[in-house]
Structure 1
Amino acid sequence: MLDLVIDRLGDGHFMAFLLAALGCAATALTVVVPMLQTDNLSRRIRAVSDERERIRQRERERLAAKDNRTQLRSRPSSMLKRLVDTLNLTSWLSTETAKEQLAKAGFRGAGAEYAFVAGRLIAPISFAIIAAVYIFGFADWQQPLAIKLGGVMAAVYLGVKAPEIYLRNATTKRQKSIERAYPNTLDLMLICAESGMSIEHGVRKVSGEIGVESVEMAEELTLLSAEMSYLPDRRTAFENLNARTGLESIRSLTTVLIQSERYGTPLGSALRVLGQESRDQRMNAAEKKAAALPPTLTVPMILFFLPGLFAAILTPAAIQINNWN
């Protein structure tokens, strides 16, 4: 058997046939083996890309749908728009920061800006008419005419400041709601990040879950998800979120998201640190309020509690002393 193999190895035709067979086998293996192997990385990248396209399509359909759902941007009515454009109120009643202030208060779109400008015109006139009718028609004021006119002017000034006061109160209320929901939002984003979700999908998921606690936070995250799908640079979407809220906590979150997007830093560990810091800050604020409670209650106790306590203690003694006499 060994002699036969040695004879075959010395045969030139056999060796040529053997080498050709080995070459064909190697070529077949080179072609077939890559087909049999599964490329997990390419599959996951393809899945993420497909999911991003589905999210974009869903956002386009949701924003384009004309149904009875609440719209994040208000549209101006034709009469209000005609009034503002005809009188050119935007040039002399609007401020440079009006649009930013309206966004912080949760009023977006051209409709909110037109309503704010029209309100700054209508409110002083309405307050002046009501004050004049009351002062000169119903109130029995035995005062000089200058004082009555001063009351009307005070009403006009109050009407000028009324839209700004309302806007400031709405902004404060909205910021408090977002601040209360901020720690839980970070926890939900941390869960989404560590589960392998993309930032867009995670933000959209958190916006649906956090709406039970804070509608304002859900709106901001929904806008963030839509802007990340539309804008070419995600950093612009993060900066817009910071500008719309005006909170230091949201500024920290957007800084972390920008760093993670640009430099590839771990998002999960950064969100965990932010969540712990936010809860520590909330605990410190609660402790500060608790520490400030005794000095705050001192004056009300002296004015309202101690007189009643003294009356309850001293009145029976005074009655007894009076009976003895």
Structure 2
Amino acid sequence: MEDYVTGVLTGTGLAPGALAAAAVAAAVLLIYFGAAASLARKSPAAARLSSLGETRRRQTRDLALLKAPADQPGGLMKAFVPASMTERSELENKLSQAGFSQAGALRTFTLIRVLLGLALPGALLLVIAAAKTPGLLPPNPVTAQVAGWTNMQVFQALSGLVGAGFFGPIYVLNARAAARRRRIEEAFPNALDLIRISVDSGLGFDAAMTRVGNELAQVSPDLAFELLSVQRQIQAGRARQDALLDMSSRTGVETVRSFANVALQSMQFGTSMASALATYSDDLRNQREMRAQEMASKLPVKMSAVLASLMLPALIMITIGPVVIRYIRFIAN
């Protein structure tokens, strides 16, 4: 057998080194394809564990949607969280409108404000101490300027940093909430048309909201999250009225609040949901057209100040300039 294999290899006319390289390459290819096939074949245990992990993540999201009422703050948090329940509810609504509706959002936001209010002046104090310590930092204009500050200037800078660190997150939160409300308000008319078309096609109201929420997940994730949150709360046993009203207060958009009232009135009085949504969709479309016309009508008024500030100096120079030049020449002569 060995003589036969030797004769076959000799008959190929290839060098022994080339034959060895070809054998090694064939072995590497076999190992690669075998490993790829074994890794591509997903084991039933791995698939089962993956499905269990997805179910656990879905349950976690549902628990975040159905969070318990916030407890009364205690300890050091009691000194920073608003003591009034009204102020605390307003801050929680603002956090929800900005997209932070998970449990503990108020506590986390308060901690961020406190840490920023302490960290910014603390960093300034470290810079001042390092600037006044000779040889600790290389000479630069910043340390030279800070080292020359008086006590009053240091106090003013520290006060400004404390205010910026404690009240700056409020400004960021308001801006984020306003941007999210604008995105929801711009995407809601299209979502309402899709819901109306789905209801006209025979789907129920809950199924239509779920379908539209899944369809808008990539186009408008904020509105899709709100629609799917309502359905998850209803599936978890919450009353439809409470879920819809909670969505309207969580978004802070007037069109969403009107939509919730229209849907609830249609269910309460037994009228056709398709006709109610069609009527409200037409009304909303008319409101958008009137809003666009209002913005177009305001445009000339807004442009008049800019045009006057840019054109009036040029007109004055054109009309009075030659007269001024003539008088200057006359006085000079």
Q: TM-score, normalised by structure 1?
A: 0.65
Matched, 1:92 2:79: yes
**Equivalent position of 1:110 in the other structure:** 103
Q: How far 1:140 moved relative to its partner?
A: 5.2
CA distance in 2, matches of 1:267, 1:201: 13
CA distance in 2, matches of 1:123, 1:267: 50
- Of the candidates 122, 125, 129, which is equivalent to residue 118 of structure 2? 125
Given the superposition, is the C-alpha separation of residues 206 and 298 from structure 1 closer, same or farther in structure 2, using an over 3 Å criterion? same
**Equivalent position of 2:224 in the other structure:** 218
Matched, 1:279 2:285: yes
Given the superposition, is the C-alpha separation of residues 232 and 154 from structure 1 closer, same or farther in structure 2, using an over 3 Å criterion? closer
Aligned residues: 253
CA distance in 1, matches of 2:150, 2:200: 74
- Of the candidates 49, 57, 67, which is equivalent to residue 66 of structure 1? 57
Q: Counterpart of 2:120 in structure 1: which amino acid?
A: F
Q: How far 1:240 moved relative to its partner?
A: 1.2
Say which SS state the counterpart of residue 216 (structure 2) adopts. helix
CA distance in 2, matches of 1:62, 1:277: 45
Q: How far 1:181 moved relative to its partner?
A: 0.8
CA contact (8 A) 1:93 1:120 kept: no
Q: How far 1:62 moved relative to its partner?
A: 9.7
Q: Counterpart of 1:88 in structure 2: which amino acid?
A: G
CA distance in 1, matches of 2:285, 2:76: 45
CA distance in 2, matches of 1:294, 1:225: 45
Q: How far 1:106 moved relative to its partner?
A: 0.7
Matched, 1:169 2:175: yes
CA contact (8 A) 2:62 2:232 kept: no
Q: How far 1:177 moved relative to its partner?
A: 0.5
1:244-267 deviation line (CA, Å, top 9, x unaligned): 112211111111121222222211
Alignment map for 1:193-272 (pairs within 5 Å): 193-272=199-278
Given the superposition, is the C-alpha separation of residues 74 and 229 from structure 1 closer, same or farther in structure 2, using an over 3 Å criterion? closer
CA distance in 2, matches of 1:300, 1:217: 37
- Of the candidates 192, 198, 201, which is equivalent to residue 192 of structure 1? 198
Q: How far 1:189 moved relative to its partner?
A: 0.8
CA distance in 2, matches of 1:169, 1:301: 30
CA distance in 1, matches of 2:199, 2:280: 14
CA distance in 1, matches of 2:149, 2:103: 46
Given the superposition, is the C-alpha separation of residues 269 and 162 from structure 1 closer, same or farther in structure 2, using an over 3 Å criterion? same
CA distance in 1, matches of 2:54, 2:241: 22
CA distance in 1, matches of 2:280, 2:100: 28
Q: How far 1:148 moved relative to its partner?
A: 2.9
Q: What is the alpha-carbon root mean square deviation over aligned residues?
A: 3.8
Given the superposition, is the C-alpha separation of residues 207 and 89 from structure 1 closer, same or farther in structure 2, using an over 3 Å criterion? farther
Say which SS state the counterpart of residue 174 (structure 1) adopts. helix
Q: How far 1:311 moved relative to its partner?
A: 8.1
Q: How far 1:301 moved relative to its partner?
A: 2.6
Q: Counterpart of 2:111 in structure 1: which amino acid?
A: A
Q: TM-score, normalised by structure 2?
A: 0.64
Q: How far 1:99 moved relative to its partner?
A: 2.3
Q: How far 1:133 moved relative to its partner?
A: 5.3
Q: Counterpart of 2:122 in structure 1: which amino acid?
A: I
Given the superposition, is the C-alpha separation of residues 73 and 91 from structure 1 closer, same or farther in structure 2, using an over 3 Å criterion? farther
Q: How far 1:126 moved relative to its partner?
A: 2.2
1:151-178 deviation line (CA, Å, top 9, x unaligned): 2112211211112111111110110001
Q: How far 1:229 moved relative to its partner?
A: 1.1
Q: Counterpart of 1:226 in structure 2: which amino acid?
A: R
Q: How far 1:107 moved relative to its partner?
A: 0.7
Q: Counterpart of 1:230 in structure 2: which amino acid?
A: A
1:20-79 deviation line (CA, Å, top 9, x unaligned): xxxxxxxxxxxxxxxxxxxxxxxxxxxxxxxxxxxxxxxxx9984439xx968879xxxx
Say which SS state the counterpart of residue 57 (structure 2) adopts. coil
CA distance in 1, matches of 2:228, 2:174: 23
CA distance in 2, matches of 1:257, 1:62: 36
